[in-house]
Structure 1
Amino acid sequence: MPTAPQPAQLTDIIGSLRRHWPVVAIMAIIGLILGVAASFAIPAKYSATTTVSVNPMNSQTLSASVDSARSVSMPTEKGLATSRKAAVAAAEELQPRYSIDADRIVKSTRVEIPEDSLILTIHFTGSSPQQAAAGADAVAKSYLLVRRTDAASEIDRLVKAANAQIAEIQADARKQAYASPIAQRSLRIQADALGTKLAELTNFDLNPGQIMGSAEAPTQRSTPGPVALGLAGVFLGLLAGIPIALLRKEEDSEIGGVDGLHAIGDQIVLDGTKDSNRADTWDIAAFMLKIPTEIGVDGPFMIMVDAEVGSGRSTTPGQELVDALSRRGRAARFVDAGAINEGKISRGWPADKKRITWAGEVIVIDTTHLTSDANKVALATRSDAVLLARSTADDAAALRRLSGLLKSKGVDVALTALFPPRQDMLAANR
C-alpha cells in the first residue's frame, strides 16, 4: 500500500529554495531590469504646490469677522478650482509659454483643503519642474479670477434688478391709483428698502482671496525613479521567483546516484548500484553496521530500516537485512512496523515491557510501510542505529524531508544503502 503524502516541512521549503536559488536570482534580476527600463519608459512627472487663502465675500469689508467663514463652502470652492471654467482660464494664462489644453489641466490638478481652514492647497503635475510651478500658479490665479468674475456678474445682476424695481416704484408713485397717503407711504418704504440693498451691493467686497505661497519648481520628480522602480522590480521578481522555485519540478526528483545522497547530507553511503544481487549489498551493509558482539540482557539492539515502497518486491528491506545478518552468523528478529497500530507507536511503542522480552537480541524494525514520517522519526529516536535503503529511482524530496526531520531530532543516519531501480535489477538477473 502506498504511503500517504506528507505535508511540506520547513526544511523542504528551505532546501528547495537552496537548490533552485538560480531561478529566484534570475527572476529578481529580470524584475530589476524591467523596473529600471520602466523608469525610462514612463515620462517623468513633477508636482508643484500653490496655497490660496479664500476670502469670504460680504458687504462689510471692514468689519468682517471670523463668523463670516460660515458663508464659504470650501467643498464648493474646491470644485470651482478644479472646474473646466478655471482650467480654460489657466490654459489662457499659460499661453504662449506652455501649450496645455483645459482637459489636461483638469487631469493634472489636485486640490486639498486643510481641516477647519479657508485654505486651498493646489497641486499641479507637469512634465518639467518649471511647467509644474507655472501650472500651479496659473490654476490659483484662474480660480481667483473666476471667483471674482462670477461674484461681480451676480452683483451686476442684482443691481440692475434693484434699479428696475425702483424705477417701477417711481412710475407707480405718479399714477392716480397710488395717490392716497397710505399707498404713497408703502411705495416710499419699498423704495427705501431697495435703496438700502443698492448701498449694500455697492459696498460688497469683491476680493476673492489671495495667493499665500507661490509654487516653487520641484527638485525631484513625483513619479518613481530608476532606484525605486528597480527595487520594486526586484521585490516583484522575488515574489514570482519563490513560488516558481517551490513549484518547479525537481530535476533530481530521483536520487540519481551517490552524489545526490551526499547533497542531502548523509554521512555514509553504501553504493550498491553496480551489484547485480541485492544480497551482496546487504551483506556489506550488515558488515558496516556497528553491532555490538555481545548484547546485554538489559535490552535489545534495535536497528530501524526505512525504504521507499517498491512494486514487485517480495522481500522487505528489513527482512533483507535480517537475512544478511544471518549469513554473518548473527541472529536477528524482524518486526514490520507497518503492522503495528500507529497510535500505539506515537504513544511510545515499543514499551519497556516489550523491550525486556527482546533483551539480548538484534531487532530489525522495518518502517517502510508506515504512513507517518513523524512515527518513523519517533522510532528512530528509540533505535540504536538507523539505516535508509533507497534506489536511484526513489523520490529525493521525500528522502530530504525525512532526513531533515531526523536531523531536527538529533538522529544520525548510520548508513544509507543505495540500490539500482527494480527494473534494472531484474534486467541484470536475466
Structure 2
Amino acid sequence: MATTPQPVQITDIAGRLKRHWAVIAVLAILGLILGVLASFAVPASYTATTTVSVNPMSSDPLSSSVDSARSINMPTEQGLVTSQKVAAAAADLLDEESVDAEEVKEATSVDSPEDSLILAIHFSGDTARQAAAGADAVAEAYLMTRRSAASDEVDRLVQAATKQIGEIQEKSDKPAYDTPIGRRSLAIQADALGTKLADLSNVDLNPGQIVGKADTPSSPSTPSAVSLGLAGLFLGVLAGIPIALLRKEEDSEIGGVDGLHAIGDQIVLDGTKDTNRADTWDIAAFMLKIPTEIGTDGPFIILVDAEEGSGRSITCGQELADALQRRGRTARFVDAGAINEGKISRGWPTEKKRTTWAGEIIIIDTTHLTSDANKVALATRSDSVLLARSTTDDAAALRRFAGLLKSKNVDIALTALFPPLPELVALSR
C-alpha cells in the first residue's frame, strides 16, 4: 500500500535548517568578507547639494495674467538641470577640477519637493571639494542657461515686432491704405506692436537664485565597510537558506542506534542483533510503563507506528499485543488503517468507544495510515507511543514524524530498532 506524500511542515524546514546550519554559517561569513573587501574596492564618493529657487518667467506679455506658479513645469526644469547644455556650461565653470561635460552629466542628479519651486541639485565627486564645487557650478550653469534661453526668446519677439512695425510703415505709403479706415487699421496695429515692444523691454529675466550653497561633505556617501559587511552577511544568510533546504540528506537511512538517537531524545531498544523479533518485542513490552491495574474509567492506549515493509506477515502492533500476551497481559489490537480517516480527524476514538474499551490495554497500529496528521492526532489521544523502525527505514520520514509529535508535546515512550528482513533471515540461520 503506497503512502501518500505528505505536505511540507514548518518542523521539516526548521529541522533541515538546523541540520545544515554549517552551510548557512559558511555562506554568511563569506558574504561578510566579500562585503568588507568590496568597501575597499569601491572608490570613495562624496555628494553635495545646492538648493535653487526657480523664478517664473514669461517672455510673452500677453500671458502675464496667467498664474506664475503654472508658468513653470518643474519636471521640465529638472530635465534642463541634467541636460547636456547645462553640463557643458558647468564643465567650463569647473575648469580647475578637470572634468568634462559627460562626467558632469553622470555626476548630477536633481529632485524637487512636491508643489514647490525648489530644485535640490546633487553632485557626486571623487573629493569633498569637487562635490561642493560641482553642485554650485551646475546650479549656476542652470541659471545661466535659463536666463540665456529667456533672453533669446525676448530678442526673437522684439525682432518679430520690429519687423511687423516696418511692414506697417511700408503699407502706409501705399494707395490701398490711403483711406481713413485703412490708416486707422494701420495705426491700431502699430499701437499694439509698440505696446508689446514696451512690455518686452520690461520682462523680468531673473531665472531664480541659489538659496543654499553646497556645504563641503565631511564623510563619503559610499557605504562603509560595516554597512557593506552587514549587507554581505545578510545576503549570505539568504543564499544559504535555500541551499541548506535543497541539500541532499546524507542520512537517508537510520543505519543504527546512533543515527536514531540523532533524530531526537528518546529511549531506543536495539534489536538489530536479535535472531527472533519476538525477543525484542518481549523486552519492549517489559520496558513500556503499563499500569498493573487498568481502571474502569477508561482504557490504556498504546500507539504503535512502523514504516510499511514487504514480507512482514503481521503488523508491529500485533507483535506487541502478542508479547503482552506472553507476559500474561491481554491487549486488544486495532488496525487504524482499517478506520475511516475522516472519523479519526473528527475525534476517533470517541468517548463512547473508550467506554467500551474501559479496563483494557488497546494497541492502535498506525502503520497503514496515510496521513501523518491523523497519526499525530491519535498520538495525542494515546497514553504511550512506541515507534518500530528498521535500520533501512527512511530517516528523513522518521525525523519529520518525530518533529510533528514534538510540536504537539507528545513524548515517544520507546523506539524499537530492527534489522531489515534479509538481515533478520541471515541472523536466524
Do they superpose with TM above 0.5? Answer: yes
Cα distance 1:303–1:118, how it changes in 2: closer, same or farther (>3 A)? closer
**1:246–1:177 Cα change, 3 Å:** closer
Q: How far 1:36 moved relative to its partner? A: 2.5
Partner residue in 2 for 1:76: 76
Kindly provide the amino acid, as one letter, of the partner of residue 269 in structure 2.
Answer: L
Q: Is the 8 A contact 1:98 1:131 kept in 2?
A: no
Corresponding residue for residue 154 of structure 1: 153
The residue aligned with 2:92 is 92
How many residues end up aligned between the 2 structures? 427
> Is 1:268 matched with 2:267?
yes
Distance 2:25 2:85 in 1: 53
What's the CA shift string for 1:156-189, capped at 9, x where partnerless? Answer: 3333444444445555556677666766665555
Partner residue in 2 for 1:414: 413
**1:135 matched residue in structure 2:** 134
CA contact (8 A) 2:59 2:150 kept: no
5+ unaligned residues in a row in structure 2: which ranges?
none
Q: Distance in 1 between matches of 2:360 and 2:164?
A: 125
Q: Counterparts of 1:137 and 1:291 in 2: how far apart (Å)?
A: 88
The 5 A counterparts of 1:11-410 are: 11-57=11-57, 67-100=67-100, 102-170=101-169, 187=186, 189-296=188-295, 299-355=298-354, 357-410=356-409
Q: Deviations over 1:269-321 (max 9, x none)?
A: 11112223322212221222233444455554432211111122222112222
Contact 2:91 2:104 in 1 (8 A): yes
Task: Using the TM superposition, name which of 235-244 and 323-332 deviates more.
Answer: 323-332
Aligned partners of 1:341, 1:201: CA distance in 2, in Å?
A: 95
Shift of 1:95: 1.5
The TM-score normalised by the length of structure 2 is 0.86
Q: Retained in 1: the 8 A contact 2:60–2:200? A: no
Contact 2:28–2:234 under 8 Å retained in 1? yes
Pairwise CA distance, 1:200: 3.1
* Aligned-residue CA RMSD (Å): 3.1
Secondary structure (helix, strand or coil) at the match of 2:77 reads helix
- Match of 1:143, SS state, is helix
- Quickly say closer, same or farther: Cα 1:298–1:171, change in 2 above 3 A: closer
Judge which range, 268-277 or 256-265, deviates more: 256-265
DSSP 3-state at the match of 1:151: helix
1:331-355 C-alpha deviation (Å, 9 max, x unpaired): 4333222122223333444445544
Distance 1:196 1:310, change over 3 A: same
Q: Give distance in 2, aligned partners of 1:160 and 1:105.
A: 35
Q: What's the TM-score, normalizing by structure 1?
A: 0.86
SS at match of 1:49: strand
For residues 377 and 178 of structure 1, do their structure 2 counterparts lie closer, same or farther at Cα, with a shift above 3 Å needed?
A: closer
- The one-letter amino acid paired with 1:52 is V
Distance change >3 Å, CA 351–CA 117, structure 1 → 2:
closer
Superposed CA offset, 1:59-80 (max 9, x none): 899xx99954444443433332
